[in-house]
Amino acid sequence: MKQTRNRYQLGSLTKLKRDSGHEVWVFRWRETQSDGKRRPRKLVVGSVKKLATERAARLALESLGLNINQDLSMSARPPRTFSELVDHYKSVELVEGSENLAYSSQYGYRCYLDNWLVPKWGRLLLSELENIPGVYIEQWLKTIPKSRGTKSKLRNILSAVCSHGLRYGWMKTHPIQGKVRQSAKPEREQIPLEIQELQALFALLPLEYRVLLLLDVPNGLRCGELFALQWSDFEFTKKTVAIHKSIWKQHVGPVKTKESERIMPLDEAMIADLLAWRSQTPYANSKDWVFASRRMRGKQPLWPEAVMRNHIRPAAEQAGIKKHISWHTFRHTFSTLLMENGEDVKTVQTMCRHASPLITLGIYTHAVDSKKRKAQSKVVEMILPKTRPESTAEVTA
């Protein structure tokens, strides 16, 4: 009988410098999967700033309780319940430094799993989960007092965990794909601001928040990209700003997609206000946050929710703006203004940094009433005969 040699590994711990300039400790090892193949894995342990020595990083790694010598093909007992499957899914897919999901997405997945999916389905055997009718899951989603978007995310995360079970051979059929329907259509439509509303809002904001919106609206920045900006990201002589990182709950990571990482132009007026703000802020060094928190002595940027709640919305209310405003409102406004100015779809897609022009047209761009009216009039003119009856003319008049 052929004997197999047991493999024992310690893993490697190295320093890695990120695009943001921060150094982190990265732990690497190999994991034997259920198919017997060994695949490389890595995990970001923490920042070098917080863990100054390798010993400190090793101690932090030990606190995670990571078993790098676990053999998923032989020694590990396959999960029997949905709760056990979720635990394995978290250990593989929801680890810091994973390239599959952004930190914000991982955080959201954990919340949905812990607060909704595991309490409801956790005790079910995987064989029982496979045989649940899709209609039953749909009925459960209807009972949840949340938005359609939240229900859709719950459905998609449940589907992702089941796909994970199929991938490892622990499930034979998928109970979600093609069997469970859930609309993700938002209850509240994002309505872009008009030029007059933007002008009124800008006029009421102090310099710091005016600069913040002046960077946000003409560049269509996402909220995390805006607050992750540091002075080193700007090239004032070249009139550009580099969008290459994002921040969420004070955790700095990469931008949402590859298309999101771009060099964006800066208008002269934007540069003038930026330099004016830099001359006033006590945090003006190259590595400082552009919108640094004074309460945190510049160690963190401002919290987007606090800025919106305490400054942007009160100014909008004072300006007489009745529309609901969120950070996403400004991104919608940007793409709509570009289209209103006659820019082609490819230009709008590039400036909004969308992966597909369908996203630009289908979700973010709101046609202006005047353009709708003009487009409709052209069709009417094509349909109606050149010489219309007098009765029609009288009705029109």
Q: What is the dihedral of CA 264, 298, 245, 323, to 10 degrees?
A: -70
- In this predicted structure, what is the pLDDT of residue 335? 76
Where are the domain boundaries for CATH 1.10.150.130 in the chain? 77-187
> Which architecture characterizes domain 77-187 according to CATH?
Orthogonal Bundle (1.10)
Consecutive sets of 10 residues in the chain, 397 residues long: mean pLDDT of each?
A: 52 84 85 70 84 84 68 64 93 75 84 96 94 94 93 95 90 91 79 90 94 88 93 94 91 79 87 95 97 96 96 97 92 79 68 64 54 62 57 42
Q: Strand pairing partners for 12?
A: 28
Q: How far apart are CA 97 and CA 227, in angstroms?
A: 21
- In this predicted structure, what is the pLDDT of residue 395? 40
Q: How far apart are CA 356 and CA 348, in angstroms?
A: 11
- In this predicted structure, what is the pLDDT of residue 5? 45
Where are the domain boundaries for CATH 1.10.443.10 in the chain? 195-371
- In this predicted structure, what is the pLDDT of residue 281? 97
CA angle 270, 275, 277 (to 5 degrees): 95
**What backbone phi and psi angles, to 5 degrees, belong to 289?**
-70, 140
Say if CB 339 and CB 362 are below 8 A apart: no
- Domain 1-76 fold is Double Stranded RNA Binding Domain (3.30.160)
Where are the domain boundaries for CATH 3.30.160 in the chain? 1-76
Percent helix, strand and coil across the chain, each rounded to 5?
50, 10, 40
Q: How far apart are CA 157 and CA 106, in angstroms?
A: 11
Q: How far apart are CA 173 and CA 155, in angstroms?
A: 16
Q: How many CB atoms lie within 10 A of CB 217?
A: 19
pTM, two decimals, is 0.66
CATH number listed for the domain at residues 195-371: 1.10.443.10
